[in-house]
Chains A and B, each alone.
Chain A
Amino acid sequence: MKSWILQNLWLIPVLPLLAAGISALLKRPNRSLAAGLAIGSMGASFLLSCAALVATLGKHGAASRQVFNFDWFALGDTVVRLGWVLDPLTAAMVVMITFVGSLIFIFSVGYMSHDENFTRFFCFLSFFAAAMLGLIIANNLLLLFMCWELVGLASYLLIGFWFHKPSAAAAAKKAFITTRIGDVFFFLGIVWLYSETGTLLFYDGGRGCLEQDALAKMVAHTTIGGLAASSAIGLLLFCGAIGKSGQLPLHVWLPDAMEGPTPVSALIHAATMVAAGVFLVARVYPLMEMQQAGVSEPIPLTAVTWIGALTAIFGALVAVAQTDIKRILAYSTVSQLGYMMMGLGIGGVAVGMFHLLTHAFFKALLFLGSGSIIHGCHEEQDIRHMGGLKKFMPVTFVTYAIGMMALSGVPLVFSGFWSKDEILHSAWNYGPSKIPFFLGLAGAFLTAFYMTRQMCFVFAGKYRGGHDAAHDVHGHSHSHGNAHSHDPHESPAVMTWPLILLAACAVLLVIVGTPVWPWLPHYLEGHEAHFDFGALFNWDVIPLLVGSSIVVAVGIGIGWWFYGLLPAEKADEKDPLDQQFPEYFGWLRNKFYVDELYAATFVKWNARLGELSHALDRRVLDLLVSVVGWLTTGCALAAKLFDEFVVNKLFDAGCGGVRRGADTCSELQSGHIHQYLRSIGVALVLFVIILAVGCNK
């Protein structure tokens, strides 16, 4: 007997989808209804998600996974089946998404209050949430892929929400196309997986593609280059995750996606969309970890580890030199996603997903905090034009500081410390190489450094903006009236309360994640967690805890030394790091010229190809089409002439003959009785003559 929540798990994505549909179909925009629907549906989904979480509690091992499959359609003998799965991974993700999503929706009510397209915004938000939740619960790779693409579409709509800004339209296009590159490989992986196993259901009572029989078959099948089919498929699926989660080398769309409204950045780049790639790797983990004969480590996981580690250090390096508050957070997200990938690659599902969940809370907090700052500073996004906001925005300052400390990994009471430490701990024990560990440690140092830099720029010193409005190059669709003073102001309660709740979560998640009681990581893996106070003093753990604490302290200290001691006085002052190391700083500020490299190579080649196709189209195809057109016109002309001069003439002549004949005949009926009588007489005489001649013969 399947439990009620398992049978109705589909309601979790469908409720926001309904909200999106209803607000899209409203005849006239109704702000409170659209916002109420979106938030209400997310709240309801949150309650259902909690029920789902409760349903998975207390079960361990294979019993913690329940699936609900059904036939979608049959094609001959092949039955395509869909379904959803309820396991700790699903439950933890849906709870996190619906909770963070609800808070972001509430925050948006305040942030978007001046926007004229308020209802459209909430429609898209709900749609996005629905697609993401569908992705999480899917028990079929095809269903997951559909939702994956819907998420891509929704992100395109949301990043390009202010599409009248050319930069936003370009960013939306870039996000869409860049992730599409990964999706092509993802789709190839899906097709290959189907051809190998004949099913796309993950779990199907022993027949699913992630279960023992199918996996053993795939490992045994060796394809090109000595790769087992399972490794090749794993790598292809990981390509999709690279695109979606902004890993090297497809990370370029993520910072540009900051053109969207800030709640969108929080939703897409903290809690959901970028997490989808990490989630995908976690979902197909049984496939990823299949070890083929003759190789010491699973090949896909090695790729995941290295790409993750490189992305982690790359994102952190670039974030050091950015000046746009949201771009710093965007590169920070790239870096943290690298950490998650690395955690998945070397530590397993629990390590990566634990960091994903904690990161979702504090990164959403940071993004919403930056939204509050931007809102308070009249749409200013450049941290050089901020400063001294501690005084103006106390609530935002405190919550932002909590988020910053969680992200940096300040020891003991912040969740980010423990989840990052899990990753570093796994990396330390990673057999093949110690390089990922040192890359991760360097990333941790840089994270602490750039977050301190940002804090100092934004909150310390004195306010450097507001004196001229001309620098407001990031002008948004709505402008504040003159009634506002130029000083920054604290955001309304509808925006600060979500911040406070998220800050509380960023701290409270500690309770379930420390080595003392590692409930969340063990829950994700389906183990039972034991309360063990001694685990904290294990000699395996202590040096690492102390070491990473020192690294973080050094990072914050150097950041403070560079930026906190002497806060910038003027907005156009040179960055202290720029003064010290100008040649390196330029590379960082320009993001290692990756965008320029792509523009000079792939984008240019693509444009060339486009021009060539255009020329072919114009010169060859258009000519052919024109020739056909001329031939047709000629035929039509000939037909017209034949019609006019032959058919019409003949017809006219026939009509004239009939008319003349009728004229002649009508003259016979003259109305003169004598004429008729005369005719009768003549006919009589003629008959007589004929009779006479005939009879005498």
Chain B
Amino acid sequence: MTPLSGYLLVSALLFCIGLAGALTRRNAIMVLIGIELMLNAANLNFIAFWRFSENPEAMTGLTFALFSIAIAAAEAAVGLALIITIYRHFRTANVDKVEDMKG
């Protein structure tokens, strides 16, 4: 059986990829995809820690992951809708061009 550190390494790698994507991409959709990757890295951590915990029968990590995924779906929907609105308004999805969000 693969040890916990393997899962954690994959998860950290996935998080870093997501973070790099969110930070480097100019397109809002790509930023959103990076954020989803980070979220999934977190879900992977929940599952891994649950699986290797002392009481895996309790299904706690699974439940957490399920809720997290549901929320991520809702958040993606909201984010996409915002991006579409921003695109309609500014005629671009490039986040660097959109500077009107400051107070």
Q: Which residues of chain B are within 8 angstroms of A670 by Cβ–Cβ distance?
A: 99, 102
Contact at B102–A671, with CB atoms within 8 Å? yes
Contact bitstring A666-681, B, C-beta under 8 A = 1, else 0: 1001111110011001
User: Bound state CA distance, A677 and B25, in angstroms?
Assistant: 12
Q: Which residues of chain A are within 8 angstroms of B31 by Cβ–Cβ distance?
A: 673, 677
Contact at A674–B102, with CB atoms within 8 Å? no
User: Bound state CA distance, A674 and B31, in angstroms?
Assistant: 9
Q: Which residues of chain A are within 8 angstroms of B95 by Cβ–Cβ distance?
A: 672-674
Whole-angstrom distance from the CB of B89 to the nearest CB of chain A? Answer: 14
Q: Which residues of chain B are within 8 angstroms of A678 by Cβ–Cβ distance?
A: 23
Contact at A673–B101, with CB atoms within 8 Å? yes
Q: Which residues of chain A are within 8 angstroms of B22 by Cβ–Cβ distance?
A: 677
Q: Which residues of chain B are within 8 angstroms of A669 by Cβ–Cβ distance?
A: 102-103
Q: If the complex has contacts A681-B19, A681-B23, are A674 and B99 also in contact, measured as CB distance less than 8 A?
A: no
Contact bitstring A177-218, B, C-beta under 8 A = 1, else 0: 000000000000000000000000000000000000000000
Whole-angstrom distance from the CB of A332 to the nearest CB of chain B? Answer: 103
A contact residues, total (Cβ < 8 Å): 10
Q: Name the CB-closest residue of B to A666.
A: B103
Q: Which residues of chain A are within 8 angstroms of B103 by Cβ–Cβ distance?
A: 666, 669
Whole-angstrom distance from the CB of A558 to the nearest CB of chain B? Answer: 120
Whole-angstrom distance from the CB of B1 to the nearest CB of chain A? Answer: 26
Contact at A672–B23, with CB atoms within 8 Å? no
| Other-chain contact of B23, A666, A671, A677 (Cβ < 8 Å) | A677
Contact at B23–A674, with CB atoms within 8 Å? yes
Contact bitstring B81-103, A, C-beta under 8 A = 1, else 0: 00000000000000110111111
Contact at B96–A674, with CB atoms within 8 Å? yes
Contact at B99–A672, with CB atoms within 8 Å? yes
Q: Which residues of chain B are within 8 angstroms of A677 by Cβ–Cβ distance?
A: 22-23, 31
Q: Which residues of chain A are within 8 angstroms of B99 by Cβ–Cβ distance?
A: 670-672
Q: Which residues of chain A are within 8 angstroms of B102 by Cβ–Cβ distance?
A: 669-671
Contact bitstring A330-349, B, C-beta under 8 A = 1, else 0: 00000000000000000000
Contact at B19–A671, with CB atoms within 8 Å? no
Whole-angstrom distance from the CB of B17 to the nearest CB of chain A? Answer: 13
Q: Name the CB-closest residue of A to B26.
A: A674
User: Bound state CA distance, A595 and B93, in angstroms?
Assistant: 115
Contact bitstring B28-57, A, C-beta under 8 A = 1, else 0: 000100000000000000000000000000
Whole-angstrom distance from the CB of B91 to the nearest CB of chain A? Answer: 17
User: Bound state CA distance, A8 and B22, in angstroms?
Assistant: 109
Q: Name the CB-closest residue of B to A670.
A: B102
Whole-angstrom distance from the CB of B59 to the nearest CB of chain A? Answer: 28
User: Bound state CA distance, A672 and B99, in angstroms?
Assistant: 6
Q: Name the CB-closest residue of A to B100.
A: A671
Q: Name the CB-closest residue of A to B25.
A: A674
Contact bitstring B7-22, A, C-beta under 8 A = 1, else 0: 0000000000001001
User: Bound state CA distance, A669 and B22, in angstroms?
Assistant: 19
User: Bound state CA distance, A678 and B25, in angstroms?
Assistant: 12
User: Bound state CA distance, A536 and B87, in angstroms?
Assistant: 140
Contact bitstring A56-97, B, C-beta under 8 A = 1, else 0: 000000000000000000000000000000000000000000
User: Bound state CA distance, A80 and B100, in angstroms?
Assistant: 89
Contact bitstring A652-696, B, C-beta under 8 A = 1, else 0: 000000000000001001111110011001000000000000000
User: Bound state CA distance, A243 and B53, in angstroms?
Assistant: 126
Q: Which residues of chain B are within 8 angstroms of A674 by Cβ–Cβ distance?
A: 23, 95-96
User: Bound state CA distance, A677 and B19, in angstroms?
Assistant: 9
User: Bound state CA distance, A331 and B68, in angstroms?
Assistant: 126
User: Bound state CA distance, A673 and B83, in angstroms?
Assistant: 13
User: Bound state CA distance, A435 and B94, in angstroms?
Assistant: 135
Whole-angstrom distance from the CB of A666 to the nearest CB of chain B? Answer: 8
Whole-angstrom distance from the CB of B49 to the nearest CB of chain A? Answer: 16
User: Bound state CA distance, A670 and B98, in angstroms?
Assistant: 11
Whole-angstrom distance from the CB of B96 to the nearest CB of chain A? Answer: 7
User: Bound state CA distance, A672 and B22, in angstroms?
Assistant: 13
Whole-angstrom distance from the CB of B9 to the nearest CB of chain A? Answer: 15
User: Bound state CA distance, A678 and B22, in angstroms?
Assistant: 9
Whole-angstrom distance from the CB of B75 to the nearest CB of chain A? Answer: 15
Q: Which residues of chain A are within 8 angstroms of B101 by Cβ–Cβ distance?
A: 671, 673
Q: Name the CB-closest residue of B to A678.
A: B23
User: Bound state CA distance, A672 and B23, in angstroms?
Assistant: 11
User: Bound state CA distance, A328 and B46, in angstroms?
Assistant: 134
User: Bound state CA distance, A674 and B28, in angstroms?
Assistant: 10
Name the interface residues of A556-600: CB closer than 8 Å to any CB of B.
none
Whole-angstrom distance from the CB of A620 to the nearest CB of chain B? Answer: 71
Q: Name the CB-closest residue of B to A667.
A: B102
User: Bound state CA distance, A222 and B99, in angstroms?
Assistant: 111
User: Bound state CA distance, A337 and B44, in angstroms?
Assistant: 133
Known: A671-B98, A674-B96, A677-B23; 11 extra A-B contacts, CB below 8 A, are A666-B103, A669-B102, A671-B99, A672-B99, A673-B31, A673-B95, A673-B98, A673-B101, A674-B23, A677-B22, A677-B31
12 contacts between A and B (CB under 8 A): A669-B102, A670-B102, A671-B101, A671-B102, A672-B96, A672-B99, A673-B31, A673-B95, A674-B23, A674-B95, A677-B22, A677-B31
Q: Which residues of A come within 8 Å of B, CB atoms?
A: 666, 669-674, 677-678, 681
Q: Top 3 nearest A-B pairs by Cβ distance? A: A671-B102, A671-B99, A671-B101
